Structure 1
Amino acid sequence: MEWITFEFGIYAWLMYQFAFQPYQRPFKQPLQTSHGKWEVREGIILSLTDNLGKTHQGEIAPISWFGSETVNQALNYCRQLPPEITTETIYTIPDSLPACQFGFESALALNNQNSHHLTYSGLLSAGKAALQQWGKLWEQGYRTFKWKIGVYPIVEELEIFAAFTQIPKPVKLRLDANGGLTYDEANLWLQKSDSSKLVEFIEQPLGLEQFEQMQTLSNLYNTAIALDESVATFNQLQACYQRGWRGIFVIKPSIVGYPSRLRQFCQTYPIDAVFSSAFETEIGRNSALNLAVELANPHRAVGFGIDNFLSPNTPGI
């Protein structure tokens, strides 16, 4: 199978005044995953001012442990740019800086899609705290919930999961392992999920290097498997599609790379895409949701229900 190539849309080489501002947003409560504890969201807000004096903003929101560049690498890239840049500069950002690709190109785009009709998946904390959180989110209108697993011993997490199966209200549960399960643990979770009829999908049960095992598991159980870390960047997304993945793709637009390239891919190949937050500010969130309206599977909730971890807006931005 030949490598898939995509062309960027045609833009005149326009000139912009360029400025950027780093930010830090502490989580209301640390986010615990199999990768560890995340306490502060760092990123960069960039501004492009055109020759009419209109300023366009974008956001660079890396998650290095997820496959993007680091915040420092993004800052170094911004610092070496001149105060005036062109769109030609934007479209020569290397693939090693996918969050920069997203931030700069999204600043050029018009966020004109209406996202009010989207349904949202509410993020729950790992461990027992999730059992106290879901009810409040239910009252806010959430019906799909995402729970982090692979954080605590599996016996403890399965006891919590058993409590979820007793919830008297109709909910969908997404189990997000962040690649933190063993093959035997993944089998056990899939068995329990099949029996419960509660789980929409298990997200990234195994590590990136275990693609074939996840393919095998997807054929053994009724519960769907979604790739997440395995498709973090555009090159990874494209490679997994080429290798035959036809399950669910969880896409974080803010770290996948150029929006135009993602759009062209999704319009060419009708993948089952779930769009998800990278804990951006409202600037990056609006750009990501704009893509979700256009490209995501309309029958699945988008993964942007994260207000209980970070407030939507950031003071000073």
Structure 2
Amino acid sequence: MRLSIHIKPFSFRLIKRLKTSQGIIEEKKGWLIHLENALGKSGWGEVSSLSHSEIAISGNLLKSLGNKISHDELETNLPFWPESLAFGVGAALGELNGLIGIGSDADWLPAPRSAILLSNNQSVLKEIDILLNNLETNQHPLTLKWKIGLEATQKEEALLFQILERLPNNARLRLDANGGLDRIQSKQWAQHFLTEPQLEWLEQPLPADDLEGLAELAKNIPIALDESLLMQPSLRKSWQSWQVRRPTLEGDPRALLQELKKKASYKMISTTFETGIGLRWIHHLAALQQQGPTPTAPGFAPGWCPNSLLFSNNPHDVWEAA
């Protein structure tokens, strides 16, 4: 079957800079993909890597495909392409073939309530106060995510205690180091999980390749892997504790779709700041996770992206806004 393929670049700036132990994220660039078959049925995808070089490589590969390509050729190339490109094309094929979206067994599932990604500075306390004053927030358990490993440990620990003092008993706080701690620092942070029930997990405390140190920590407290899963994808099958799954960086999303349909446990679906086209998949996968044995708040980072049609759930609107 021959398919028409159209591509279009997109870019946007985050409302505020996101600082992690690995650097600063303030802008996203990528590619939108629109596949259409001879019957006029469409599939939409998005290439949304955090790597500028991967975006450039993916753009060159997409341009080399021309305007017409066979379905089989796309399927054959997928395993050899960068993961973010494989996500974009796999997502478009999945929709085109009726595995997801209109015409599938569940249509697009609505987004569940997200965890809140907090700011990285002293304004975090004011931010939490505003959240707690929101009546709607008080009607639902509040889940927060806070980046650590950016300042001296003693300073961040003091701020942690102030955060925990503010939170209601049913709130949960995730600490994310993005691989920025050493083993001594990680053990120091781990001690808090033994006495603070509001702490949900410690996310990627050690560098992605320190699997021995991560496994040792996981014997005593919940450790969620993120960057390690991207560096060593086989861990997605073997890591028994929490996994932060970022679909747009993992390759063809149809595998994760089937995994979640089979009620896989200990997965948390996370954004990498997508447009509305990618978000349809992120929201759907997160909704499936909620139906599994270990439901938990996904990470959509609400309030960090602009309010525009680029983030609409209508792919035609996204395409026109790009």
Q: Note whether the superposition's TM-score is higher than 0.5.
A: yes
Counterparts of 2:182 and 2:308, CA distance in 1: 35
Deviation at 1:280, TM superposition (A): 0.3
* Structure 1 gap segments, 5+ residues each: 1-13
User: Match of 1:135, SS?
Assistant: helix
Q: Give the letter for the 1:272 counterpart.
A: Y
Specify the alignment match of 2:187 in structure 1.
Answer: 187
Specify the alignment match of 2:204 in structure 1.
Answer: 204
RMSD: 2.3
Question: Aligned residues, how many?
Answer: 294
Deviation at 1:95, TM superposition (A): 4.4
Deviation at 1:266, TM superposition (A): 4.9
Q: Give the letter for the 1:225 counterpart.
A: I
Q: 1:274 to 1:168 in 2, by over 3 A?
A: closer
Q: Give the letter for the 2:198 counterpart.
A: L
Deviation at 1:265, TM superposition (A): 4.5
Q: Give the letter for the 1:240 counterpart.
A: L
Q: 1:96 to 1:125 in 2, by over 3 A?
A: farther
Specify the alignment match of 2:122 in structure 1.
Answer: 128
Deviation at 1:90, TM superposition (A): 2.3
CA contact under 8 A between 2:247 and 2:270: conserved in structure 1? yes
CA contact under 8 A between 2:260 and 2:285: conserved in structure 1? no
CA contact under 8 A between 1:127 and 1:152: conserved in structure 2? no
User: Match of 1:232, SS?
Assistant: helix
* Structure 2 gap segments, 5+ residues each: 102-106, 311-317
Q: Give the letter for the 1:41 counterpart.
A: K
Specify the alignment match of 1:248 in structure 2.
Answer: 242
Aligned partner (choices 33, 49, 56) of residue 72 of structure 1: 56
Deviation string, structure 1 residues 88-131 (Cα, Å, up to 9, x no partner): 23222234511111111212323213225x23111112232222
Specify the alignment match of 1:11 in structure 2.
Answer: none
Counterparts of 1:274 and 1:312, CA distance in 2: 26
Specify the alignment match of 2:10 in structure 1.
Answer: 23
TM-score by length of 1: 0.85
Q: Give the letter for the 1:260 counterpart.
A: R
User: Match of 1:27, SS?
Assistant: strand
Q: 1:245 to 1:76 in 2, by over 3 A?
A: same
Which stretch shows the higher mean deviation, 283-292 or 179-188? 283-292
Specify the alignment match of 1:306 in structure 2.
Answer: 302
Specify the alignment match of 1:104 in structure 2.
Answer: 89
State the percentage of identical aligned residues: 26
Q: 1:311 to 1:32 in 2, by over 3 A?
A: farther
Counterparts of 2:150 and 2:61, CA distance in 1: 34
Q: 1:309 to 1:136 in 2, by over 3 A?
A: farther
Specify the alignment match of 1:84 in structure 2.
Answer: 68
Specify the alignment match of 1:45 in structure 2.
Answer: 32
CA contact under 8 A between 1:62 and 1:71: conserved in structure 2? yes
Q: Give the letter for the 1:144 counterpart.
A: T
TM-score by length of 2: 0.84
